[in-house]
Amino acid sequence: MIGAYLFRTYATKLIPWKKDVLWVCFFVLLAETLTFSPISSIIKIVVELFLCAFIICRLYKISMPKGLLSMLFFIFSGVFTEMILTTGLGFLFSDLTNSDIAWQAEYYLIYHILMLLIAVVIKKTLVKIGKNFTKREDLLFSILLAALIFIFMSSVNSLLYGRDIITQISQTVGIIILLAALFLLIYFVHDSARIRLIQQKEEQQLQKLQAQYQYYEERLKDEQRVREIYHDMKNHLLVLQAQLKEIGHTGDKEKKQETEEMIAKLQNQISDYEDYVQTGNTILDVILRDKYRKAKEEIIDFHTEIDFSKGDFIDALDISTIFGNALDNAIEACEKVSEEERFITMKAREKNHFLVIHIENSAILEEEEKKTTKEDTFLHGFGLKNIQRAAEKYGGQYKRNYQNGVYMLSILIPIAEK
């Protein structure tokens, strides 16, 4: 019954307790048959383990690894209980032998009560965490349990029968299995740490993208406010120009020069808005405007030919991810080139029901950097990976190339049907 109680932990299909009773009867019959058979106890346990695990899988509709693991937990609870009892009795009664306790009713009563308590603890632990184990974690637990079972069995045999050849073999096998489990554990921990590091890096990148997107949203609001007063500024310029003509008639040269400087300053401030890029997507307009400013600060020739009016099916965050990362990489690459050679050319348009995005920029790549254009190494190129993920989200793909001092990035995204 304790076995049935444990086996239900992983069950995907609960069965009536009557079938559990039949299964328990079969297990008892098998155990009793093997108990009185003249074969090694280790062979008996292995036969019981795999045969019962197979039946458990068929009966409770669980996978073989889970069935094997639940069977190992059951055997472990029994062997561990026996080790505790024999060790405790050995301390209390130093002259106690196997024949003294083998058929004592009190011993078996305490044995089953203690085993039930251990099974309850195991069951509660497995309910909390065990169902989320991966296959390799199931494998690791199975190996560790098997090793512990071998060692506990050898300890019990040593206490009851003395140290014979079977005990020595059991202890040796247990030690070998524990060493193998240790190496597996080291590998799993290392691999888990690596995965966690990648996840942390990706989470940081996602937070950065979200912050960048919020920044672009704020910039969009700012741009809209500025463009609202744009026409008023032009009217102010007209008034100033009229005043300048009047000053010309009066001959006040100092006031004329002051007014001319004011006009030039205002014209310079609004010239950017007169040349404002219209891509057909408001978020992309803000992104390009922001990158234009950065490119201008770094003396980079920035040229665009963009019609993104068919890209409204792409989320604003993904637009920010694709264009923001691509242009940041391009600007960073241009900073390593001499000022007269710095350029960025970006083209985007609809062609044959695809959005085609192509970016070229001047760059100087070392040999190691050229290798990363073919295959990213660990923790390298998260910006490009984000671009790739954003493109693949819409069934798209991207390609990179470097030739004669020019870095090229092409992105192809099928246009979603409305």
* Domain annotation covers residue 412: yes
The range of the structural domain enclosing residue 392 comes to 277-418
* Domain annotation covers residue 218: no
User: Of 137, 163, 189, which marks where a domain is finished?
Assistant: 163
* 138 and 283 both lie in a single domain: no
- Note down pLDDT in tens along the chain; length 418 residues: 555 555 555 555 566 666 666 666 766 676 666 666 666 666 666 776 677 767 766 666 767 777 677 777 777 777 777 777 766 665 665 555 554 555 466 666 777 777 778 777 777 776 665 555 667 667 777 777 777 777 776 666 665 555 555 655 665 566 566 657 656 765 765 676 577 777 777 776 676 667 667 766 766 676 666 666 666 666 766 777 777 677 666 666 776 777 777 777 766 665 555 445 678 887 888 888 888 889 989 999 999 999 998 888 998 888 888 998 899 999 999 999 999 999 999 999 999 899 999 999 999 876 545 544 444 433 335 578 889 889 999 999 989 999 889 999 999 999 987 6
User: Of 99, 133, 163, which marks where a domain is finished?
Assistant: 163
* Domain annotation covers residue 151: yes
pLDDT at 373 (0 to 100): 45
* Domain annotation covers residue 150: yes
* Domain annotation covers residue 215: no
* 297 and 156 both lie in a single domain: no
Phi, psi of 354 (to 5 degrees): -130, 145
Cα dihedral value 405, 411, 412, 414, nearest 10: -170
- Number of domains observed in the structure of the chain: 2
Domain with residue 399: its CATH number is 3.30.565.10
pLDDT at 139 (0 to 100): 74
From CA 144, how far away is CA 122, in angstroms rounded? 15
* Domain annotation covers residue 183: no
* Domain annotation covers residue 188: no
User: Of 163, 186, 206, which marks where a domain is finished?
Assistant: 163
* Domain annotation covers residue 105: yes
pLDDT at 375 (0 to 100): 42
From CA 41, how far away is CA 35, in angstroms rounded? 8
pTM: 0.44
